[in-house]
Every structure is written in C-alpha cells, then in structure tokens.
Amino acid sequence: MDSTDVINPATGAVFAAVPSNGLAETDAAIERAQRAFLSWRHVAPGDRARLLRRFAAVVGEHIEELAGLEVRNSGHTIGNARWEAGNVRDVLDFYAGAPERLSGRQIPVAGGLDVTFHEPLGVVGIIVPWNFPMPIAGWGFAPALAAGNTVVLKPAELTPLTAIRLAELALEAGLPEDVFTVLPGKGRVVGQRFVTHPAVRKVCFTGSTEVGKSIMAGCADQVKRVTLELGGKSANVVFADADLERAAASAPAGVFDNAGQDCCARSRLLVQDSVYDRFLALLEPAVKAFRVRDPALETADMGPLISAGHRAKVASYTAGAEIAFAGEAPTGDGWWFPPTVLLARSAGDPHWREEVFGPVLSVLPFRDEAEAIRLANDTEYGLSGSIWTRDLGRALRVSRGVETGNLSVNSHSSVRYWTPFGGMKQSGLGRELGPDALLSFTDVKNVFISTDS
C-alpha cells in the first residue's frame, strides 16, 4: 500500500507517514461496514446511547493528546486544538441522547393505525477537509452513528492523524468493529468510491464548492443522499450606531482565526461610510496585536497556513492590491503569512469576491441599510456573517435580508453543537448539528395497520 507524508506546517518538516488506501481496500472496508450495519442498527437504543457516551468520555480523556496531534498536523493553535477535541466529545455527548428520542408519529387515519419510523440509511461516507479535521468529522459521524448507521470516513490527505486516532478511541470505548472506519487516501480514489459504491447510502462532504458540485452530480446517479458544507465569503457589517470599539477589537478573530482557513471567516468587512475612517483607525492596532507565532505556544492567536502551495495562493490575492495595514508573522521555516487588511476599490476586486481562505480581510464602505444588504448578498456564497448595531429593529431587518445560513448580531459566533449549521446558495445543502442533523441520516417509513375484523 502506498503512503502519504504528513508535514508540520509550522516547520515544513515531515514527521509521519500514513498508509494511503486504494480501491480494493476501500471496497473491502465499505463491505465490512455494510455487514456491521445489519447488527448495529438493531442495537437497543439505550445500549447505543451508552456506547456513544463512553466514546465521548474516552475522547475527553485524550483531549491533550488529540490537541497535540492537531497542532503538529494542522498548525492550529493549542487553544483552538483543545476546543476542537472538546467539541468532538461534546457532539458525541449531545447525540448520545438521540437513540432513545428518535420518535416517529401516530397519524390519525380511518380503519386502522398509522405510525412512522425513522429507519437508518445504512453505510454513510464522510469526507473531511483539512481546515477543521476533528470537529467536522464529529459533526458527521456522531449523528450518523446515533441514528443506527455505520460510517466510513476519509480524512484530508494533509491532516489524517486525529481522525485515525478517533477511530482507535472508538474501539477502545467498545464500539463494534467496522461500525466506524477511517480510510486515509486520495480523494479521487477513496472519496470518489464513497460516491459510486451502491452500499454507501449517503455522502457528507465539507470542502470546496467545485468539488461539492461534482460529488452532488455523482450522487444523483444513484439518487444518493448528500449533505454539502462548501465555500464561504461572509460579510461583517458594521453600522454607525454600533459599539465600534468592541466591533473593531473582535474583527481580527472573526477573520484571522485558524489563519483565515475557515469557511465562516468574516473576510468582507462592510463599514458605514460615516464611521469608515474612525473604524479603520480602531481596527489597525487590533490587527497588529494579533499574535502569529508557534502554534504550540499558549500565547499564539494564529499559526501558519496549511502548505506552501496554499500560502502562494493566498499571497496572489495581495499582489497589486491596496494594503491598508498588516500584522507580523515569523519569517523562518513553515508556511507563515501575516494578517493583512486590503482596501477594496470596488465589489469586483478578486480579493473581495473570491474565497481567499487565508488571513486576508477586504474592506468596503456602504451608505445605508439597503446598500449593506445588497453588498452582503452580492456573492454566490451564503454561509455565515455578522451584523453590528445597537438598533434591534435594524438587526432583525438585516438578519432577514441577508441570504446566509448562520448570522450573529454583535458577535462572530457561527457554531454551537446544539443549533443547526449550514449554508444557502452555493455554500451548501442540508444542515449539520443541532436537532436538524439527526433526521437527515434516516428514512421515514410509514406503516398502516388495518383494524378491520
């Protein structure tokens, strides 16, 4: 079997090698998962719940180990990596409550009894990106397992280590063999086989819109269910009546967290023209204070980008652009890039329109509420965003007017595991997390029982 080198993005050095599954290994794993489904689906709800709670507890016992792996593999800051491992634990705990609550309905009918059941789909294929390897894996496998499905999961080629370790911890927690399988390998082999194999009844994909479209087209051939969480170009809209100091202080974390490698990054900053100059004056020291350093340090706010190739792509957006100001970043080995603020000349600038997926913030002024909504919606994406205002009526009007799946008012929070998460337009299809996710891993079966003698 071939192998793939794993590189520490903070140093550029190879520190591990991971086997890369081929087509035969992928088919064999899917077939084992299909056999395991026949028994897993019939595990009593209370027993399935106990196993998931135990899985959550075992993950909780290994937070520091998982976080340390993510720092080295993904370049995430240690604080972020601890949160990510804790999120896997919490999502498992949340969905551990689901098996015993997966209730159908009794529907009034003439001549008998009509009831519905939520039946598991079978094998679920989950394709995980490199930017948040742990939590996005958990958002897929936790509700899928809770609903009675088995899971095959393909981690990103760049960042496979924490997914591999989570599969080991699942076995340690007592989950049966082949109920949760991690298959590192190339997307065009392992991920594509999830799309084409008839035993895989749903694919969950997080990644680029371009790849998501091809996965959706492939799944259509088998009328296969799909959940897509794709790109984003989210707006951070600051009105003149907002708490400008607070909005400026929070803006860097809203876009530069995880080095801007976040589909929810508020990478388009819209500021009302009457406070535009003042806001930029408040923003500059906050950007320059954002600490880019060794991600293993407790004081790091931001680590490196994921690869040399990605750093070159991010840098291409700043070439020739008008830089308002920038922070600092290490200059040694590794894929470092400073937090950078660009002034958009128009809404047609590439750095304003395209998903940079790096620590680059584009700024544009707006006149009034109507123009703010128009500019926020002037994108093919619709994943997240923020609105800053003290006017509750305006907050509600603009929230309803902006075409995006997740919005925060006077905040940059996008994700809570007990509330739904997902995009509109070309940012995706379906919802993860919260109560909405569970039922997407089931089919509704309707049963009529005649009471005629």
Coil, strand or helix at 375: helix
Query: Which residue is catalytic, options 84, 157, 229, 355?
Result: 229
Q: Buried (b) or exposed (e) across 61-88, using 16+ Cβ within 10 A?
A: ebbeebbbbbbbbbbbbbbbbbbbbbbb
Q: Buried (b) or exposed (e) across 329-355, using 16+ Cβ within 10 A?
A: beeeebbbbbbbbbbbeeeebebbbbb
Cα distance between residue 294 and residue 65, in whole Å: 18
Cα distance between residue 366 and residue 359, in whole Å: 23
Coil, strand or helix at 42: coil
Query: Is 229 a residue of the active site?
Result: yes
Residues in contact with 172: Cβ distance below 8 Å, sequence separation at least 6, in sequence order: 58
> What residues pair up with 243 in beta bridges, in sequence order?
none
Residues in contact with 420: Cβ distance below 8 Å, sequence separation at least 6, in sequence order: 431, 432, 433, 434, 435, 436, 437
Alpha helix positions (H), 221-275: 244-256
Closest CA to 162 of 132, 133, 131, 191: 133
Query: Is 157 a residue of the active site?
Result: no
Query: 0.85 cut: is pTM over it?
Result: yes
Alpha helix positions (H), 264-307: 276-288
Cα distance between residue 421 and residue 363, in whole Å: 26
Coil, strand or helix at 343: strand
453 residues of the chain, pLDDT tens digit each: 799 999 999 999 999 999 999 999 999 999 999 999 999 999 999 999 999 999 999 999 999 999 999 999 999 999 999 999 999 999 999 999 999 999 999 999 999 999 999 999 999 999 999 999 999 999 999 999 999 999 999 999 999 999 999 999 999 999 999 999 999 999 999 999 999 999 999 999 999 999 999 999 999 999 999 999 999 999 999 999 999 999 999 999 999 999 999 999 999 999 999 999 999 999 999 999 999 999 999 999 999 999 999 999 999 999 999 999 999 999 989 999 999 999 999 999 999 999 999 999 999 999 999 999 999 999 999 999 999 999 999 999 999 999 999 999 999 999 999 999 999 999 999 999 999 899 999 999 999 999 997
Query: Which residue is catalytic, options 70, 263, 264, 432?
Result: 263
Cα distance between residue 63 and residue 76, in whole Å: 14
Cα distance between residue 105 and residue 446, in whole Å: 9
